[in-house]
């Protein structure tokens, strides 16, 4: 273990107190190389005498590069107030609506500014609240619009598929009729004007074709009921 950031272990074996710059550097290098997670293995891999929980909190609350620095803005304060009124002390959920802010930062801000106060929120918050509500309404409108567009696309796709199936079935019935007609004897396929007694056979042939057409219509109707 590197002597630059080692120290005598406490009763539970882990170092307590503030983190040193060397410890921060070791933790940052480890996360950059291996990614976030598996915090309990960091001590074994790097030699840090810090618990997995301590490493995770140090990274999440102080070292991760997307942290937002500086004071809470009036807009952020309005969001905290609105979400706390809906969700209570669900700090992690509230922090997810504030990019770059940690749940610990949000919790401390609430407890410092509002927990012990009986006064109403500041005028800045009152001014920021309409902005927050407008943002929430805009998100709802976008979700509704996206849902309607998806439903319209599904309806159009169903219509196209139904037309395609109908056209395919019509072509299949036409092919069957053509094949049935071609299978008739040559004498039965002659016109009524060329033979004296071929009309009865022609009637039988066309009757068969009409039956095929009726069968096609029945299949189309049955397909329509099934699709609904």
Whether 74-121 and 1-65 are alike in CATH topology: the answer is yes
H/E segment holding residue 25: helix 21-34
Sign of dihedral through CA atoms 208, 213, 219, 225? negative
The domain ranges of the chain are: 1-65, 74-121, 157-227
pLDDT tens, residue order, the chain (228 aa): 444 444 444 546 788 888 999 998 999 999 999 888 888 888 888 888 898 888 988 888 888 888 887 888 888 888 888 888 888 888 888 888 888 888 888 888 888 888 655 445 555 556 566 766 777 777 778 888 888 888 888 888 888 888 888 888 888 888 887 877 777 777 666 544 444 444 444 455 555 555 555 555 655 565 555 555
Task: Supply 80's token pair.
Answer: 């905290």
Whole-number Å distance between alpha carbons of 197 and 227: 47
Query: What is the CATH code for 74-121?
Result: 1.10.10.60
- Estimate to the nearest angstrom the gap between the alpha carbon of 19 and the chain centroid: 39
Whole-number Å distance between alpha carbons of 64 and 31: 9
Query: What is the CATH code for 1-65?
Result: 1.10.10.60
Tokens 């056979």, located at residue: 201
Task: Supply 145's token pair.
Answer: 């619009």
Q: What is the per-residue pLDDT across 20-74, written as a single tens digit (0 to 9) for each?
A: 999 989 999 999 998 888 888 888 888 888 988 889 888 888 888 888 878 888 8
Q: Where are the alpha helices (DSSP H) in 89-198?
A: 91-96, 103-110, 123-182
Q: Are 30 and 46 in contact (CB under 8 A)?
A: yes
């Amino acid at each position: 273990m590197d002597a630059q950031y080692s120290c005598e272990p406490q009763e539970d074996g882990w170092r307590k107190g503030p983190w040193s710059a060397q410890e921060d550097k070791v933790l940052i290098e480890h996360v950059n190389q291996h990614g976030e997670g598996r915090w309990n293995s960091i001590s074994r891999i790097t030699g840090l005498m810090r618990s997995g929980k301590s490493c995770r909190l140090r990274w999440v609350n102080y070292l991760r590069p997307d942290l937002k620095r500086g004071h809470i803005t009036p807009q952020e304060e309005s969001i905290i107030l609105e979400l706390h009124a809906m969700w209570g002390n669900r700090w992690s959920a509230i922090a997810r609506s504030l990019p770059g802010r940690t749940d610990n930062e949000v919790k401390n801000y609430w407890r410092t500014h509002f927990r012990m106060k009986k006064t109403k929120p500041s005028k800045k918050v009152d001014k920021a609240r309409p902005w927050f509500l407008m943002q929430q309404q805009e998100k709802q409108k976008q979700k509704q619009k996206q849902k309607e567009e998806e439903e319209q696309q599904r309806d159009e796709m169903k219509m196209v598929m139904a037309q395609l199936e109908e056209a395919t079935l019509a072509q299949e019935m036409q092919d069957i009729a053509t094949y049935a007609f071609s299978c008739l004897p040559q004498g039965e396929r002659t016109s009524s004007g060329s033979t004296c007694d071929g009309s009865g056979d022609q009637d039988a042939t066309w009757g068969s074709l009409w039956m095929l057409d009726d069968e096609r219509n029945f299949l189309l109707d049955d397909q329509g009921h099934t699709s609904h």
